């Protein structure tokens, strides 16, 4: 077994302009990093810091660079996918999720003195729906987690868990091992669906909760297979909501991610984040890295909200792909404007995003925007860099009209843009 301190897909700081895909913001965003050298990050310092994947093989699956705007403080660190890597030698016609057999446990209502009993009941209810996903790749293997969400054998996990898989095996709660097939993926959301043939006894299925009803401070549990130690449970609270988490260059951007201090370790990727009613409210995906020590940050993890899962997964089950991402785009390539870019391109402003290129017949082109324009505002949101543009668009829907203010030379112009929809590359 390779030393797990070696990160696969690790992301390193990078200086200089480049092009990256940031789903949910624009189809292609060219980024220009600040003049200072940034450490590895915890939630991208405005994806002005593109990063590169390192496919050296073995070690932890590294994950996303995230940006945590906490009041006026930006905390920089590198993300770590909660998947565990090791090296060794050598479709349905329905779009509705189908419930499985009834859990043997009923979760009692939470009161002032029964929280321990509630936790135990939730674990007993949900654990049978959480599986270990064993992946064989060309360079070795990987271990992650998954959650059974349909009695026909459909399991949701992370795309990064199954990426590059040559074969898949699922270990059920009772220890039995079954071969699995990949149904489809959604790289933009770091989601994937795999399928097993259900045993004759049937499957217990996790019930999706409504992630929009989560509250900061609410207690949650994480169930998964950290470091390959099956059926491990950790607990914590919802630390924050509405995080827009970027996984770096070429990676997913998770809108409205759930931040939690419940420990999420390598191997937890694709597992279950559950509330104390026993509902699946999120899919744990990554944790942050402390850039000073290059170690996992204590209690800073992120999960894909269940409402996003409920939107994406039925599409994959029905067709094997995602036809409607529900994410708005303008169809432009941009780079962050800073004083250096301002001087190089002789711009009249030292902030915003410079349009480098745009897709033919894109939303931006139809509205009259042109390459060379500098966007400084979308509706009431001030655009200072790529991250702020991404955040502004993640809150919008395809077909929605927005007011965009941009500089063309020294003149500020206003454009009415009808947003397009991000196309899935899964």
Per-residue pLDDT of 190-245, as tens digits, reads 999 999 999 999 999 999 999 999 999 999 999 999 888 889 999 999 999 988 88
Give the pLDDT score at 79: 47
Half-sphere exposure of 9 (CA within 13 A, CB side): 25
Half-sphere exposure of 154 (CA within 13 A, CB side): 27
Residue 142 vs residue 133, higher pLDDT: 133
- Tell me: pLDDT of 19 over 70: no
Give the pLDDT score at 368: 95
Helix (H) or strand (E) holding 302: strand 295-305
CATH 2.30.42.10 region(s) of the chain? 329-421
The fourth-level CATH superfamily of domain 329-421 is PDZ domain (2.30.42.10)
The separation between CA 375 and the C-alpha centre of its own chain, rounded to angstroms, equals 26
- Cβ pair 365, 420 in contact under 8 A: no
Any idea which residue has 């929605």 for tokens? 400
pLDDT in tens, 302-350: 999 999 999 999 999 999 999 888 889 999 989 999 999 999 999 999 9
Arch. (CATH architecture) of 81-287+297-323: Beta Barrel (2.40)
What are the two backbone dihedrals, phi and then psi, of residue 344, each rounded to the nearest 5 degrees?
-65, -35
* Whole-number Å distance between alpha carbons of 271 and 121: 18
Residue 407 vs residue 26, higher pLDDT: 407
35 by Cβ neighbours in 10 Å (0-12 / 13-18 / 19+) ranks as: exposed
* Residues with catalytic function: 160, 190, 269
End-to-end CA distance of the chain: 31
CATH 2.40.10.120 region(s) of the chain? 81-287+297-323
């Amino acid at each position: 077994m390779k030393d797990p301190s070696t990160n696969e897909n690790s992301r390193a700081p990078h200086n200089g302009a480049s092009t990256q895909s940031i789903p949910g913001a624009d189809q292609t965003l060219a980024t220009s990093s600040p003049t200072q050298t940034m450490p590895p990050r915890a939630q991208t310092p405005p994806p002005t810091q593109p990063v590169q994947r390192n496919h050296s093989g073995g070690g932890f699956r590294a994950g996303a660079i995230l940006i945590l705007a906490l009041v006026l403080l930006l905390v920089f660190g590198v993300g770590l996918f909660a998947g565990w890597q090791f090296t060794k030698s050598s479709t349905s016609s329905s779009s509705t999720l189908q419930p499985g057999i009834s859990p043997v446990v009923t979760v009692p209502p939470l009161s002032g003195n029964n929280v321990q009993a509630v936790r135990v009941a939730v674990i007993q209810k949900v654990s049978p729906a959480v599986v270990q996903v064993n992946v064989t790749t060309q360079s070795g293997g990987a271990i992650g987690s998954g959650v059974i969400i349909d009695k026909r054998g459909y399991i949701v996990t992370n795309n990064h868990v199954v990426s590059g898989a040559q074969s898949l095996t699922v270990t059920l709660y009772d220890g039995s091992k079954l071969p699995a097939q990949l149904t489809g993926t959604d790289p933009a959301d770091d989601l994937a669906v795999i399928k097993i043939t259900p045993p004759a006894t049937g499957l217990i299925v996790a019930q999706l909760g409504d992630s929009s009803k989560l509250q900061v401070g609410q207690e949650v549990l994480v169930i998964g297979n950290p470091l390959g130690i099956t059926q491990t449970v950790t607990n914590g609270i919802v630390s924050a909501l509405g995080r827009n988490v970027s996984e770096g260059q070429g990676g997913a951007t998770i809108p409205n991610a759930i931040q939690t201090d419940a420990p999420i370790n390598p191997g937890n990727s694709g597992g279950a984040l559950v509330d104390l009613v026993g509902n699946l409210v999120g899919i744990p995906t990554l944790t942050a890295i402390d850039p000073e020590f290059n170690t996992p940050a204590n209690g800073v993890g992120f999960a894909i909200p269940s409402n996003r899962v409920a939107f994406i997964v039925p599409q994959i089950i029905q067709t094997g792909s995602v036809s409607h991402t529900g994410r708005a785009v303008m169809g432009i390539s941009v780079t962050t404007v800073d004083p250096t870019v301002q001087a190089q391109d002789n711009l009249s402003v030292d902030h915003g995003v410079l349009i480098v290129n745009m897709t033919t017949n894109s939303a931006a082109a139809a509205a009259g925007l042109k390459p060379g324009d500098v966007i400084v505002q979308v509706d009431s949101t001030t655009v200072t860099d790529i991250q702020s543009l991404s955040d502004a668009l993640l809150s919008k829907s395809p077909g929605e009209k927005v007011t965009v203010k941009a500089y063309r030379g020294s003149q500020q112009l206003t454009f009415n843009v009808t947003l397009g929809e991000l196309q899935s590359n899964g």
